[in-house]
Structure 1
Amino acid sequence: MSLRKLLSQRLLTTRLFLHAETQCCCRRKYSLQLIPMGKFHEPNTETEAYQPGQMFFHKVFPYRGVVLHPWLARVDDRSQKDRTSRSERKTQLYYQVLVDETDSQHVRVENLSVTFRPPENGNRYSLFSQIYSIRGIDYVAHQDIMPYTVTEDAKPIQHELFDKFLTPVPDSDKSTRYVAKDILRSFQEANHPWLRLSDVYKQTTENIRVTVIPFYMGNQEVYNKDLEVYNKYWWRYCIRIENLGEDTVQLRDRELKTFSNNNSMETLHGRGVTGLEPKLSKDSPAFQYSSHITLECPAGYMWGVYTFEREDGSKFKCNIPAFNLQKVEVNLHDSNNDLKG
């Protein structure tokens, strides 16, 4: 049964692989079974945020997830001719979500996690403070959310934090909804600066749309060769590459430039991204990955190009939009783009 037919019936299913070992050898036999998980319902309007606990199916990457927190982000689309100043940019809803662990193994998203460096003593960082990583967390645009409710007998997504963050509330129609626990609210408040999404950058070239979301991770005091203390500033950035056309293309090379506000610039060349050269086709149009950058000053920006190859062997360049790297002041009470559930 095709996904299109399943969607027309408003019935969400997931693939479950069952295996059994034969007695005469070590081979395993696999069978495919469709398991009912819930029912889709009408998506919210562009301005109506989904609340923590909302189950969903990703429209582009085929995974199930649950909303943890909504954010209102400024979107800078470099493809638009009538671009405005940062303060006047269009805003759009995005969501921090938990991703089902079984589904995440089969989607084209590399480094599906968030990393951050929380302060250990107030707003100060120790010399040896560690980088924390939480697996299975993604950021999703409002239009990519396909909301559904879980049926009474179905299991919610599989993630070690699901039961810690959310609690079930039975509904009268034999479905189950989930709401945030106090521990989820405490988690968001304690790590607000490192989880916050504030700016999104986009640019489309030759039907290839590149979306970049940067996150400030914090800074660290380090020693130089003269044993003088200075600061290093850390950012994580998530890049989604999407083929909006009909033709299959393959990413071959990347070139990224980094400019720091101390007037230093670096250029990075390499094959593919994260060791891969992904193909973007009509059936699998998108690829997403995350990476990190450190600067010796609290501000800078990055930009670059990807080189793609068509099926006929011809190549073309695709722009990576310039995006700001800006230190975020630690203020746990700052909630300008924080939408409370």
Structure 2
Amino acid sequence: MAKDIFRCGFGRICRHLSANLNTERQCGRRFYAASRLQEFGKCEETRSPDIPYDPGQLFLHKSFFYRGIILFSWNSQVIEHTGISADKKQDNVRFRKYRNIKSHITDSKEVKRVYQQYYMVLSDQRDSPYKRNKMEAMQFYRFPNRDNAAAVICASSNTDIINHDDIIPYSSTEELPIANEAFRSYFDYNKDKVPACRVKPELNMTIQTQFPWSDMDNVVYRETTKNIQVTGIPFYLGSHQTEKTSKTYTWMYCIRIENLGMDILQLRKREWLLYCKITSQIDSEHGPLVTGEEPIFSPDMRFYQYVSLVSLNSPRGSMWGCYTMTRPDGTEVMIRIPRMELKCDDAEKVL
């Protein structure tokens, strides 16, 4: 089984070719292997958070260890909920109040607001089997033509949403740096030129048609409970209406779960609460799994990420919830999902 590894200390990024992984050992974020390595790139200097990377930048994902290329970026406001008590009794009181919308309107002193650069990227399909982020079903609305208002949900394979800190930039030494069906459609590549990847006009056309939220003010929501950090990013996709149904507004949301501590936890259940501003009702949605899986979080496997869809009959609303995780001894831990605002700037806009 192939696995991507890198040697930051030597400035080279290498691919592990051996099927025997028993000789591999990990030391911090540097990986070494006793078996054969094949170089596929050289590390470049990372940029400060206030200098975004350009479209066409090749990178290695710092957390999920896959190769990718940047499509476009945007600057997001990150709202981080702080001051959550670690006391079990107080936590139980908080969770019993879940169904009250006011219980998730926190005091301004408990909210930290910063800005962070985020990116839409293409990932290398060769690395898909080893990723812990279920992003292959990146969904969006597409309308075939102006006369046909029926929305079609499409999927863009091997795409991902990452933040600035996830990126380890590199230059490739391969003839084809990214194995992705869309790579040649969006970029001209010549490893002997600088920059090696040049954006084609087709990329800008695709962004306008397939990523309608790319020019919107997207907000990132983050909350930490028991050293488990949950980050949520909602994206407004569009609205549609048929003769038999009322108008429906749809958002895609990306969830990233990270273990900041040393505990071993497994995700068992989820509960979402959806608030519709028009009806002032709160609907619940329960499920035993996340994308059909029960991911385990440990010091060696800290991250998990996925995307999904949510629809409301209102251009304004919100969603929040909790994950139920279990420790190896069977004890349950409730992990809060931050309250995310669902809104669109133009309620009448049909993409």
Q: Which of 264-273 and 210-219 deviates more? A: 264-273
Find the partner of 1:309 among 326, 339, 343.
326
Shift of 1:195: 4.0
Shift of 1:136: 0.9
State the AA in 2 paired with 1:62: F
Change in CA separation of 1:179 and 1:113 when aligned onto 2, cut-off 3 Å: farther
Is 1:207 equivalent to 2:231 in the alignment? no
For 1:43-192, list aligned pairs within 5 A.
Answer: 43-79=46-82, 83=108, 89-121=113-145, 126=149, 128-151=150-173, 153-171=174-192, 177-192=196-211
**C-alpha distance in 2 between matches for 1:14 and 1:80:** 43
Instruction: Name the structure 2 match of 1:299.
Output: 316
Q: What secondary structure is seen at the aligned counterpart in 2 of 1:183? A: helix
Shift of 1:311: 2.0
Q: What secondary structure is seen at the aligned counterpart in 1 of 2:8? A: helix
Identity in percent? 34
Change in CA separation of 1:50 and 1:80 when aligned onto 2, cut-off 3 Å: farther
User: 2:255–2:306: 8 Å Cα contact kept in structure 1?
Assistant: yes
**C-alpha distance in 1 between matches for 2:133 and 2:273:** 23
Q: Which of 135-144 and 112-121 deviates more? A: 112-121
Q: What secondary structure is seen at the aligned counterpart in 1 of 2:235? A: strand
Shift of 1:275: 1.9
What are structure 1's unaligned runs of at least 5 residues? Answer: 19-31, 333-341
Q: Which of 241-250 and 4-13 deviates more? A: 4-13
Find the partner of 1:37 among 22, 40, 55.
40
Q: What secondary structure is seen at the aligned counterpart in 2 of 1:167? A: strand
For 1:315-334, list aligned pairs within 5 A.
Answer: 315-329=332-346
State the AA in 1 paired with 2:240: Q
The number of equivalent residue pairs is 308
State the AA in 2 paired with 1:165: Y
User: 1:125–1:221: 8 Å Cα contact kept in structure 2?
Assistant: no
**C-alpha distance in 1 between matches for 2:17 and 2:137:** 24
1:59-93 per-residue CA deviation (whole Å, 9 max, x = no partner) reads 1111110011011111111126985899x942210
State the AA in 2 paired with 1:246: M
Find the partner of 1:286 among 281, 303, 312.
303
**C-alpha distance in 1 between matches for 2:81 and 2:123:** 29
CA RMSD of aligned residues (A): 2.8
Change in CA separation of 1:195 and 1:137 when aligned onto 2, cut-off 3 Å: farther
State the AA in 1 paired with 2:79: D
**C-alpha distance in 2 between matches for 1:118 and 1:91:** 30
Shift of 1:215: 1.1
User: 1:125–1:220: 8 Å Cα contact kept in structure 2?
Assistant: no
Change in CA separation of 1:288 and 1:192 when aligned onto 2, cut-off 3 Å: closer
Is 1:238 equivalent to 2:254 in the alignment? yes
1:140-189 per-residue CA deviation (whole Å, 9 max, x = no partner) reads 100110000112x45301000101101124447xx872121111122223
1:107-158 per-residue CA deviation (whole Å, 9 max, x = no partner) reads 1112424211134555x861x331121111111100110000112x453010
> So what's the TM-score if we normalise by structure 2?
0.80
User: 1:78–1:202: 8 Å Cα contact kept in structure 2?
Assistant: yes
**C-alpha distance in 2 between matches for 1:155 and 1:15:** 18
**C-alpha distance in 1 between matches for 2:348 and 2:45:** 37
State the AA in 1 paired with 2:250: W
User: 1:77–1:83: 8 Å Cα contact kept in structure 2?
Assistant: no
What are structure 2's unaligned runs of at least 5 residues? Answer: 20-34, 85-106
Shift of 1:276: 1.3
Find the partner of 1:277 among 279, 289, 294.
294
